[in-house]
Structure 1
Amino acid sequence: MRGRIGAQWNTEDPVTRRDSVSVDRRRNPGRDYLANAGCLRPLKRIEDKDLLVEDIMFQLVHRVSGALQRFREGMKTLSVLDAIRMHPDAFRPLFCHEPSPLTADVLEQLFEIRLSAVGRNKRRAEECVVAFWRDYLLDVEEQEGPLQLGGILAFATGANDIPPLAFSPLPSGVFLHELPLRQGRHLPTANTCINCFKLTVLKKFEDFK
Structure 2
Amino acid sequence: MLYKSFNNVCVLSVPLIQISESKTLEELRAHCEPLTDYMATAGCLRCLSTLMDKDKLVEDILRFQVILRVRGPLQRYLRRISWSEEGKGPTKLGDLLAFSTGSNVIPPMGLTPAPTIEFQMGKYPIAYTCANCLRLPIHHRYEDFKMNMDFGIQNTQGFGMI
TM-score range, shorter chain: 0.3 to 0.5
Larger Rg: 1
Structure holding more helix per residue? 1
TM-score by length of 2: 0.38
